[in-house]
Each structure stands twice: as C-alpha cells, then as structure tokens.
Structure 1
C-alpha cells in the first residue's frame, strides 16, 4: 500500500546512512501594474523584501539611492522604483498540503489546524486569489485540486474541510480491505495452489516493476499517459537526468552517471519539480499580472534528485514564482537519522531535506517553522505579509543586449544608515536571477524578459 510503502521507503533511505524577476514591458509610470504595454524598451523588474536582520521586521522607508542592483556583477542604474502599497499586484497563492501520514499529514488532519489556516486566508485583500492542492494522500493519486484559484473565502474554507476525508490511516485502510473481501472460507488444495500462484505472479510483477524503472524512458508515443520526456546533461558532472512527464502532472525522474549507470530513480510523483513546472506555466500564461507564490506545508523531508532541485529553482526564477514553506515538526526517527543520511545523499545525488528552505532562498521567499496550532496563522501571516511588503525595482536593457535566454545572476544590495549615521544591518530577500526573452518573444509587440 502506498502510504506504508512511502514510510518504509523514507525510513530505508535514512537507514542506508547507518551501514524570473520577470522583465516586463516598460510601464508608462512607475505606479502602473499592467504587464503588457506597446513599447520597445525592455525592463527587468524584481521585487525585494528588506528586513532588519536582528528583528526580522520589514523596512518600508527606503529610497532608490539606498539600493544597488548587480546583473552578473555589473552595477545597473535603477530606472523604476515603487514601495509597499504603491500599485501592489494581487496575489495568486497556491497552497500545497503534503498529506503524508508520517509527515505534515499528522497535523493537517486536525480540524483546528485547518480552521486556523482558513481563518488567516480570509484576511487577504479582496483581489487576492488562492488555490489549494493536496498531494501524497493515498496510494492511487498524487495530487488533487481542492479548489482552483478563487477569491471566495467560503470556498477556500470548504476546500480545507475536505482534507480529513482524504486521509485514511493504514489501520483503517487494512480494515476496509478485510471487510471488502467478505467472510473467510476454508482453503482447498485448489485454492491453496491458486493463492501460491498469485503470490508468485505478484512477486514477479514487483521484479518487473523494478526492471521497468531502470529501463530508458519510454517514447511518449508508446504510452498514452506520457506527456513528454525531458533529458538534461549536466555539463559540469556529466550526469544525465531523464524526466518522464505524465499527463496527470506527476513526474518520474532518473539520474544516470557518465557511464550510463542509474544512480537513483523516482516513481511517478507530484514532486517539487512537478509543482514548479505546473505553477510556473499557470503564472506565465494565466496570471501574468499577479504575484504568483507557492506555500508548501511539509515536514521538511522531501527526497529529490539534486539536479531536479536545481532545475526547480531555475523554473521558479524564470517565471517569477516565489516559493515559501510552512515546515512542521519532523518525526524523532528522522531527526535522528538525518545527519547520517546527508553523506549518503551526497554520494548518490539525492537531497533528503532542506530543499524547501533552499528554494525559498533562491526565489526570495520564506521558510517558516511551525509547531503549535497558532503557529500556522502566524507563519502564514508572515509569508503573506512579506509577499506584499516589497519594493519593486527595475533596470533598462540596452538595445545592444541580445536576448540570449541565459539565466543571469542578480544581486540586490541595500545601504541605509540609522539615526546615528551607522549602517543598519539588513537582510534582503529577492530572486537570484532572470532570463531574457527568446527571439520569437522579441519580435512580439511587447518585448519581455522572463
């Protein structure tokens, strides 16, 4: 059964250790929110959250001269600047609930926790939208949209109320299977032989499944459930990553060494990469005038191939999606095994934990720890507040700068003296890069860098 297998797999993995700010068309005024204006100038926009390093309180009184923007190490003149509250884009927030019963699902099954989350979401501005997704909740489905984007706070609350019904404990699942099988009947020689035969066939099926996992990715044309197959070769390590994208949004990934040996493979799952891929497309195509953000509720244990984690960060940066996490308490067993699992992960090319925090840092988001029921409201309030309490900066690309599609590194530095003239210790949260448009996009009326 899936939940049991997941728990066993996660425990086994640990046990092994023991042996884009988006560049938009140039606005006519710094206050405008519209993303598409018929002009030729190309501008790279970025959002920056500036906090007091000691208190964590956002700083809202800074001026353009307090900021420096570096593009691949080159200082860029700031052409556009707005503060918090000046033409704020509406939020398009995707709340992803990881319902593994050995992870965050232990807490998300509690009505009081769900009510706390729903109560905090009702405080959003009327123009802000929320979508809610459940993942890893049973053995048959990896994801379910509890509600698509909506501004209806009652619909959001109703979606969250669905969560406990999705979660069935292992004992309950076993009892349901026993009840569904009917009364026991004495076994004859024929039925005993048939049962032994069934077990042999089941064992062979498991072997075949493992062999199938280690075979090259299928041709999309040969499996109608496959949407696409992505192949990426890391130029630094020579490692090849093969991702099979399924039509239901899940992704199966395989990591092969330079010699073609499979280091690690994952089954079809709604992984961090799958979520970033889906939500990045939504943000770019369907919500271009909104500030797209993910809030992933997890226990922090998210096994992922390292190259997939890096590719996830790349997707988030290019599409201007901010990743955030609410991280619940980890099981004591995992806390104990985690220090031993890390070197094993480094050896096979897997990251077992810390990916949520890494993606938040790369995309300019927040990773917040929660434990008590009230922490969910405070954590969510902090994430939402920091999404809205941001400066918007922009610099203009010259006509000579070609649209190379490459991911450029961005760095924002802030210098602000206090009342005594001493430089304040500040922390800046912002996206770590951007990419220019492709040639096709350049020919469009409103040129963009994403």
Structure 2
C-alpha cells in the first residue's frame, strides 16, 4: 500500500483534514457537525479573507465569490463552509530564556481564552525549545487544559529554539486530533526567535534534542501534507532584543512567520497587558476562516507538489473595501 493510500485511509478514519483522499462520492454541502465524505482525490483548504487596513475579517462570502486554481488550472469548488467545523487547537509555549519574562502572561491569556472556545473545540498543550514536548493530549475538558497551561507557565529550559524540529513534532501531534472534521491549528506562543540547528549549536544549546533533528525541508513537507494551519502570538521581550544584538550569528527571527505564510495562518504581536485580547482575536481569525473543497482535474503522480491560488472574483469587490486592501490567505499548495 502506497504512503498516499495509507494517508488517505488515516484521514478518512480521523475525519477531515486539509488535503484528503478517500474512496466515496464527491461531497455535497453539509451541516455543522456532519461527517464529510470524500472522493477519490479531494482537496480541502482553509482560507481567511481580511481587510488588511482594518484587520477585520470579511464574512458572508459564497462559493461563487471565489476563484480557485491548481497549478494554474481553474478548479470547481464543491464543498464550502464558514465557521461550521470544530477547532483542534495545539497551544505551544516557548520555554527558552528570552520568553521567560512573558511566559506567565502568555499562559494567563491562554487560560482565559479557553472560555472563548466552543464546547466541541478540543485543545492540546505542548512546550518547546530544542524539541517539543506534550503536556496534555487533545481534550474538551477545559480543566485539564488549564492545568497543563499552568504547568507550562512554571517550566523553563536552558536549551535553544530548534524551530524546525519542534514544528515537525507539533504537526505530528496535531494529526492525532480526535474531533471528527476538526480544523487542526497550531498556536505558537513565543517571541519569534529561533536558533541555527547544526552540530555547533546542538552541543551548546541542544543537549536534550533528539538524536536526529528534522530539517526545515522535512518539517515543511510534513506541514504541507498535513493541512495543519500555523498561527502565532509573538511577545518580543527586552531579553529578545538583547540576544538578537549579542548573538545574531546563531539567533534569527521570522521562521514562525514563514511557516504561517505557507498555511495562510495569522500571526499577531502582543504585549503583557493585551495577551488575552490578542489571543482571543487570533482564535476568532482562525475560526472565521472559510473551508473549501474540490476534486482536482489535474492528473499528477503521487508525491507531486501542487501550487494553489485562491482569490476573489473581480465583481465581488464592488461590495467590499478597496481591492488593494483585501487579502485572501490560504496555504500555498499541497503534496499529492
């Protein structure tokens, strides 16, 4: 059995993921909570439509308002929903030294935002530095999630941030979602910094890292195959700025944003005083995404990367803000 077929059967068994392959008929519209039956090769993606000037999401759009193409070939949208599917959220707390001054406020915001979730949404809690560690698997029990977040707030690590390894492990955990049809999202609570992952940094700040470190390419491939959406709440501390100045040769910014861009996920900046509000805003943005599905018309061999483009039809802009202020965010593509 090929890897693609095995992934297909796993996706069908688990419910619904962003790139899905099964063996049933093409899905029709479904009500919230319904099981989505997928076709021989059926692709599903999340998309956010935002007024970038105001930051407000644009709702009330219909399937006919979108133009979707795969490798430049137009595709017909046959599944469409908006805020109907539950969220499977993985909160990931950065334990590195530069984040430590903000960790308590980040955890406090995460505990508070648990009440912002719907009852059917499930939560998992992880921490990360040179690798990711699971504190609480997916649960709808808010007390269990709150306890894990509280534990995370008191933890610390002398390790560096190996973001590619942590991303690979986080995606793997997100795929263990138990919610049928759940939209899988990673919410990284961090200052946005990362360290070079090589033999030198491993000796200095990666002593607890796994023997084999997954590369950026491996983490990216795993992410794009999974359909998981990456998002982040970034709190840049004074310690962050100091480290960036003193250790610029081993520390850098931007990796989380690049991963988020691949999936079309939101990244927001915050400060201690506004963590709860900004995190609630982030969750609202994740929930307010459209879900679209289609059966590809292109014939491509297994393992091929297919580039996606999603935009609004020109006539839709008549009832929207200025065209240049509207942005459609979705993942850049997927692997067959």
TM-score (norm 1): 0.59
CA shift, 1:377, in A, is: 1.2
Asked if 1:23 corresponds to 2:20, the answer is yes
Gaps of 5+ in 2: 1-16, 199-213
1:148 matched to which residue of 2?
137
| Distance change >3 Å, CA 95–CA 412, structure 1 → 2 | same
- Alignment match, 2:289: 390
- Specify the alignment match of 1:417 in structure 2: 317
Q: What SS does the aligned partner of 1:401 have?
A: coil
Tell me which residue corresponds to 1:314: 221
CA apart distance, 1:113: 4.6
Alpha-carbon distance in 1 for matches of 2:136, 2:122: 11
Distance 1:98-1:48 versus aligned 2 partners, 3 A rule = same
Cα distance change on mapping 1:30 and 1:24 into 2, 3 Å: farther
Contact 1:94 1:295 in 2 (8 A): yes
Structure 1 contact 104–297 (Cα < 8 Å) conserved: no
Query: CA shift at 1:65, angstroms?
Result: 2.6
Residues 101-140 of structure 1 correspond to what in structure 2 (within 5 A)?
101=97, 103-108=98-103, 110=104, 113-136=106-129
Q: Distance in 2 between matches of 1:281 and 1:420?
A: 38
Q: Which residue of 2 aligns with 1:52?
A: 51
The 5-angstrom pairing of residues 291-306 of structure 1 reads 291-304=183-196
Contact 2:36–2:181 under 8 Å retained in 1: yes
The answer to whether the Cα contact below 8 Å between 1:309 and 1:355 also exists between their aligned partners in 2 is: no
Tell me the residue number matched to 1:333: 242
Question: Which of 358, 370, 374 is 2:270 aligned to?
Answer: 370
Which one is further off, 410-419 or 273-282?
273-282
Tell me the distance in 1 between the aligned counterparts of 2:121 and 2:320: 40
Alignment of 1:219-258 (within 5 A): none
1:74-223 correspondence to structure 2 within 5 Å: 74-82=73-81, 84-85=82-83, 88-101=84-97, 103-108=98-103, 110=104, 113-136=106-129, 143-167=132-156
Please say if residues 30 and 36 of structure 2, whose CA atoms lie closer than 8 Å, have aligned partners that are also in contact.
Answer: no
- State the match for 1:271 in structure 2: 162
- Asked if 2 retains the 8 angstrom alpha-carbon contact of 1:51 and 1:428, the reply is yes
**Contact 1:27/1:34, CA 8 A, preserved across alignment:** no
Question: Over aligned residues, Cα RMSD in angstroms?
Answer: 3.1
Distance (Å, rounded) in 1 between the aligned partners of 2:244 and 2:275:
21
Following superposition, the deviation at residue 425 of structure 1 comes to 2.9
Q: CA 1:305–1:411 in 2, change beyond 3 Å: closer, same or farther?
A: farther
In structure 2, relative to structure 1, the CA distance for the partners of 1:66 and 1:99 (3 Å cut) is same
CA–CA distance in structure 1, aligned partners of residues 36 and 174 of structure 2: 13
- CA–CA separation in structure 1 for the residues paired with 2:192 and 2:324: 32
Deviations 1:315-361 (A, max 9, x none): 212101111111112433235458xx4xx67xxxxx72100111111
Equivalences, count: 296
